[in-house]
Amino acid sequence: MSSSASTPGSRADQEEHYRFLHSMLMEKKLHMLFKVYERLRRFVKRAPVPVEECASSLASHFLEDLVQHEWREEVKELLALFSKPHFKARSEGDVTFTIVPASSKQDVASRKKLFVRALFDYNPNEDPAVPCKDAAIAFKRGDILQIATMEDDAWWQACHVGVNNTRAGLIPSQQLQERRVALQRPKALFQAEQVKATVFPGEEDVDYGALTGIHIAGLRKSFRLGKKKSRVKEAACSRRWSSGVHDSVCPPTYVEVIPDHKDPKDRHRLVVLVGPSGVGVNELKRRLLISDPDLYGVTVPYTTREKRSQETEGLDYHFVSLLKFEEDILNHRFLDYGRYRGHYYGTSLDSVRRVMAEGKVCLLDLNPSKLKRIYTLEFKPYVVFVKPPRVEELRLSRRRAKFLSDGEDSNQVRMFSEEDFEDMIDCAQSMEAQHGHMFEALVVNGDVTTAFRELKADLRSLQEKEVRWIPAEWLRLSPVMARRSCGLLAGWI
């Protein structure tokens, strides 16, 4: 085979790059830049000479002119700059000033308040495209930013919220960041198909009492994706934040949020753990329950199979008739459900409400495709994405680790193959691309002990926060709560 022969995948990449370059070259702003460049070249050819040869004398005259307008804030800044010793005795050569629009915290606060949660890390020192590194600000995933202006298509102005002495600076716009990541995303994310698969608990439930000496009702094999039932790679069709309806294939960048002031009467937020099969979601949930059973609780699943002699109604399962289960399906009372060996199994929304009404933090382990059912102001879900580490660390931590399989005998050790590692990482990338706008926290589970410690500390911090930032779309879906929360934004900052 010739080395120059191209595969379908490479042709798709070439077509994508061609479309991107074509759109860039056809933009009016690029043509305007060429015109500006030609004007500057003509100016340079004229070889203009400075008004004065002596730079220090020129600076002195400039200061005299500035003094007449020292009441203006920007002039005060220039006066302070030119009064410094190294400006009074400048060396020969050009001195270039980079002038950017200034936005103080007061200016930002006086405008319409638009807050976003960043869904990626950004360091301007590592960005060759930023117009001025000193004029940009860095941020981490999860940081709350207040947008000052979105007038430029490529660079917005924003400042950090909750940080003292912060300044407004440049950040990549949603459009720019989406375009960047779209060119780097793996080929699997270009697939248009979306496969949905659910694995339901088997006849033999995991006996955690044998492992810990504590019987935990409702903690069993979850309804998440299973390895043996199907190898699933979810399509990366993420949602667009700006319109409120995410209807195109693009990576998550920012999500609009609003402040939610904690009330002593408020119930605990629902905590949802999501992640690919094998990453250790169920183990982290188990450890949380054991660490503080008075604080954390789980739902008791429903089933249509017969109760066994050693089982207790309402503790192991809620045993209901086939007619009742199917009636609840028609009335949309199940968050997740399915059939296994001729019997229905499911998680009821009422069971979630029951745990929350007890004053506990309800822990759910969900397929991210089911998040929309509970992504509302009623539940205020705090979604934690459990992510696998790099493949090298996966090999070290999983090869001999005693992880319980989601679809196998609980007494067997789950052994991972290279294909398992690839599937886990690919599935995690697809989950993040498609549902990342709903992930409020991220835990990398390389070492389960370290991951559990980080998760527990994060949840403890969540309980202590007086102001929580929730997605603005929750209020749009709840007009009553929207009216109740109108005063929050008016008094913020």
Average of pLDDT values for 115-133? 92
In the predicted model, is pLDDT for residue 276 greater than 80? yes
* Token pair recorded at residue 477: 């879906």
Burial of residue 385 (CB within 10 Å: 0-12, 13-18, 19+) is buried
Question: Rounded distance, CA 281 to CA 225, Å?
Answer: 11
What are the pLDDT digits (tens) for 296-327?
Answer: 999 999 999 999 999 999 899 999 999 999 99
The CATH architecture annotation of domain 185-490 reads 3-Layer(aba) Sandwich (3.40)
Contacts of 301-306 spanning 24+ positions with Cβ under 8 A: 301/201, 301/218, 301/220, 301/345, 301/346, 301/347, 301/351, 302/328, 302/334, 302/337, 302/344, 302/345, 302/346, 302/347, 302/348, 302/351, 303/343, 303/344, 303/345, 303/346, 304/343, 304/344, 305/343
- Taking only Cα atoms into account, the Rg of the chain, rounded to an integer number of angstroms, comes to 28
Q: Check if 105-182 and 185-490 are the same fold.
A: no
Average of pLDDT values for 171-185? 84
In the predicted model, is pLDDT for residue 163 greater than 90? no
Q: How would you label 260-285 residue by residue, b for 16+ Cβ within 10 Å and e otherwise?
A: beeeeeebbbbbbbbbbbbbbbbbbb
What are the pLDDT digits (tens) for 3-52?
Answer: 444 455 567 777 777 887 877 788 888 888 888 888 888 877 877 665 55
Helix (H) or strand (E) holding 146: strand 144-149
Tell me the pTM.
Answer: 0.65
Per the listing, tokens 């459009």 go with 175
Q: Nearest CA to 337 among 366, 362, 357, 358?
A: 366
Question: Rounded distance, CA 141 to CA 157, Å?
Answer: 17
What is the dotted CATH code of the domain comprising 105-182? 2.30.30.40
What are the pLDDT digits (tens) for 207-220?
Answer: 333 323 344 455 55
Q: Within the chain, how many helices (H) and strands (E) appear?
A: 17, 15
Q: Nearest CA to 469 among 109, 119, 138?
A: 119
Q: How much is the pLDDT for 68?
A: 73
> Apex CA 242: angle with CA 241 and CA 243, to 5°?
100
Domain boundaries, the chain: 50-97, 105-182, 185-490
In the predicted model, is pLDDT for residue 201 greater than 50? no
83 confidence band (pLDDT: 50, 70, 90): confident
- 313 secondary structure, DSSP code: B
Average of pLDDT values for 103-122? 73
As a whole number, the mean pLDDT across the chain is: 76
Q: How would you label 87-119 residue by residue, b for 16+ Cβ within 10 Å and e otherwise?
A: beeeeeeeeeeeeeeebebeebeeeebbbbbbb
Q: How much is the pLDDT for 67?
A: 75
Which residues lie below 8 Å from residue 387, measured CB to CB, with a gap of 6+? 275, 279, 428, 432, 442, 443, 444, 445
| β strands within 301-408, DSSP E | 302-303, 318-319, 334-340, 343-348, 361-365, 382-387
Q: How much is the pLDDT for 413?
A: 55
Q: Nearest CA to 397 among 462, 451, 334?
A: 451
Instruction: Give me the sheet containing 271-274, strands edge to edge.
Output: 296-298, 361-365, 271-274, 382-387, 441-444
Which residues lie below 8 Å from residue 81, measured CB to CB, with a gap of 6+? 87
What are the pLDDT digits (tens) for 375-412?
Answer: 999 999 999 999 999 988 888 877 655 444 444 444 45
Average of pLDDT values for 357-381? 93
Instruction: Give me the sheet containing 155-160, strands edge to edge.
Output: 169-172, 155-160, 144-149, 115-118, 254-261, 467-471
In the predicted model, is pLDDT for residue 183 greater than 90? no
What are the backbone dihedrals phi and psi of residue 215, each rounded to the nearest 5 degrees, phi first? -90, 120
Burial of residue 487 (CB within 10 Å: 0-12, 13-18, 19+) is exposed
* Token pair recorded at residue 359: 């004053």
The 3-class secondary structure across 270-304, one letter per residue, is CEEEECCCCCCHHHHHHHHHHHCCCCEEECCCEEC
104 vs 112, higher pLDDT? 112
Number of Cβ atoms within 10 Å of the Cβ of 212 = 13
What are the pLDDT digits (tens) for 336-358?
Answer: 999 999 999 999 999 999 999 99
Q: How much is the pLDDT for 165?
A: 62
